[in-house]
Copies of this chain bind each other. A is one copy, B any other.
């Protein structure tokens, strides 16, 4: 790009424009936002040829960079995938608008009436990696919640994201909303990320979506509040009171349905008393399903298992691999998860209510499950509509982050000349 100003100036300008747009968006009618999203969906579909062409440039760049097949697949946009983006935009458009919703209201003896209503957060910064569809998903969710958004996509998807972004802006324009409501950082320069992490004047929250490199950078440099999205080091504990059929169904689904998502199971903990029946059966079924089982000493007699090392505990494989370990009791399972987990999603298989309660009370993962596949860790499956990710921090948003989680609130208090005694 020619005549690009220096990164600091560029980002400061983007921030100021986002802030100005956010001030208008905060009271934009729900219809205008929905109409912008539908118009954006139309524009994405109408420009699908241009998007595919832009994507071809990214794929070429990816090939030159030697990206893995998995990465190349994440980067690829086909007409089918563009249809998915369009459907996603329309789905967010059709959701309830969270802004202005009354979360609670009550009267006070003083005569005051108090309402707690949802408001936008302001300006959201989204930093993401290769998947270009995040440009549309994140842009749409932030807009739905009345926020301005600054999108900083991965350098690999630069041209694809730019083409999708152009369609989003077309939607804003058609609905008469400020075009600065959805901005895409127009440079691959990684310094833009560091700038965003310190723009406390203009960015209200950063949503980082990416691997360990990005998470580490955010932890070191962020001065803006962050919705932490750590890895999904997902554990399943098979309790001594587990139902064998449920254990089998759930573990196989949690590990094999899709291995690359953050809700995929990564570690199996088995109560010592049920190793020989349920444990054996589950591990054999995993191996038959083509999963590499990295087992501890107590399990390594099972044919086909590989030997686990210390590095396997707390590891997110995102692949057809699972770690497996025998534990003496539920407290040992809890201790293992506390030590190696990432507070994302963890599950217990048990018919014992007291054991489930103990697991639910003593662990503090964003999502805890009983007798259900951890692959349900997803905003859509929770009934929240689309999501921008699964937050693992404790502040503000936790678990699936949809439009509602991208809001704040304020108190509206009405009296009638009411004064305090």
Cα A365 to Cα B418 in complex, Å, equals: 20
Q: Which residue from B26, B360, B362, B418 sits with its C-beta under 8 Å from A371? A: B418
Contact A415–B371 (Cβ < 8 Å): yes
Known A225-B225, A364-B119, A410-B367; judge A112-B398 contact (CB<8 A).
no
* Across-interface contacts of A23 in B (CB, < 8 A): 338
This chain: copies in complex: 2
Question: A394 within 8 Å of B by Cβ?
Answer: yes
Cα A375 to Cα B395 in complex, Å, equals: 29
Question: A190 within 8 Å of B by Cβ?
Answer: no
* Across-interface contacts of A122 in B (CB, < 8 A): 364, 394
**Residues of chain A in range 241-270 having any CB-CB distance to chain B below 8 Å:** 243, 245-246, 249-250, 252-254, 257
Q: Which residue from B361, B367, B383 sits with its C-beta under 8 Å from A106? A: B383
Question: A340 within 8 Å of B by Cβ?
Answer: no
Q: Which residue from B365, B367, B376, B411 sits with its C-beta under 8 Å from A110? A: B376
Q: Which residue from B100, B110, B410 sits with its C-beta under 8 Å from A398? A: B410
Chain A contact residues (Cβ within 8 angstroms of B): what range? Answer: 35 or more
Q: What 1/0 mask marks residues of chain A from 196 to 230 whose CB sits below 8 Å from any chain B CB?
A: 00001000110000000000000100010100000
Contact A420–B381 (Cβ < 8 Å): yes
Cα A246 to Cα B121 in complex, Å, equals: 33
Contact A394–B408 (Cβ < 8 Å): yes
Contact B114–A413 (Cβ < 8 Å): no
Cα A290 to Cα B372 in complex, Å, equals: 68
Contact A108–B383 (Cβ < 8 Å): yes
Most B CB contacts (10 A, CB to CB) among A252, A375, A415 go to A415
**Residues of chain A in range 363-386 having any CB-CB distance to chain B below 8 Å:** 364-373, 375-376, 381-383
Cα A371 to Cα B416 in complex, Å, equals: 5
Known A257-B420, A396-B395, A418-B371; judge A376-B112 contact (CB<8 A).
yes
The distance from the CB of A303 to the nearest CB of chain B, in whole angstroms, is 26
Contact B414–A369 (Cβ < 8 Å): yes
Contact B243–A417 (Cβ < 8 Å): yes
The distance from the CB of A233 to the nearest CB of chain B, in whole angstroms, is 16
* Across-interface contacts of A399 in B (CB, < 8 A): 410-411
Contact B365–A246 (Cβ < 8 Å): no
Known A27-B362, A246-B416, A417-B246; judge A112-B411 contact (CB<8 A).
no
* Across-interface contacts of A360 in B (CB, < 8 A): 412
Cα A340 to Cα B171 in complex, Å, equals: 34
Contact B414–A372 (Cβ < 8 Å): yes
- Across the interface, name the chain B residue whose C-beta is closest to A408: B394
Question: A409 within 8 Å of B by Cβ?
Answer: yes
Contact A204–B395 (Cβ < 8 Å): yes
* Across-interface contacts of A119 in B (CB, < 8 A): 364, 394
The distance from the CB of A116 to the nearest CB of chain B, in whole angstroms, is 8
Besides A372-B416, A398-B409, 11 other CB < 8 A contacts?
A121-B394, A223-B223, A253-B419, A253-B420, A257-B419, A364-B410, A366-B410, A369-B413, A370-B415, A395-B395, A395-B396
Can you list 26 A-B pairs, Cβ within 8 angstroms, ordered by A?
A23-B338, A108-B382, A112-B376, A114-B383, A119-B394, A122-B364, A205-B394, A205-B395, A225-B393, A249-B419, A250-B417, A250-B418, A250-B419, A253-B420, A356-B414, A366-B410, A368-B410, A368-B412, A369-B414, A370-B415, A371-B417, A372-B414, A373-B415, A381-B420, A394-B408, A395-B395
